[in-house]
Amino acid sequence: MRQRYSFHLDQGGHSVTVNVRSGWITETELLVDGKECDFHRVHGHGDYPLTLTAQVAEEPPRPPRPLAVRLDRTGRAEHPLACVLELSGAEHPMPERTAR
């Protein structure tokens, strides 16, 4: 049976979402402002910790800013994964939301 997890945070004027679908194959996608920016697929129930990376676009003449999201196991049955957004040198925990 597949399990689904979703994490979302609006930060710095950008929307960041991480969706995880686990089962025989685990797929993890990183969306920034609704666009897929990174994707990871592995056989089994996931390979953690896992870091996905992207860039957020800024208004010219400023260059894009890099971001990373880090997923890791929590050891808790109710919320088995935790997700943290790293942006501009700061870490922001991403709350879990109901997956669609």
Q: What angle do CA 22, 27, 28 make, to 5 degrees?
A: 110
Tell me the pLDDT tens digit for each residue of 18-70.
Answer: 999 998 999 999 999 999 999 999 998 888 999 999 999 888 888 889 999 99
The number of residues in the chain equals 100
68-89 residue pLDDT tens: 999 999 988 888 999 999 998 9
Q: In which region does residue 75 sit, left (phi positive, over 0), alpha (psi from -120 to 50) or beta (all else)? A: left
CA 98/CA 54 separation, integer angstroms: 23
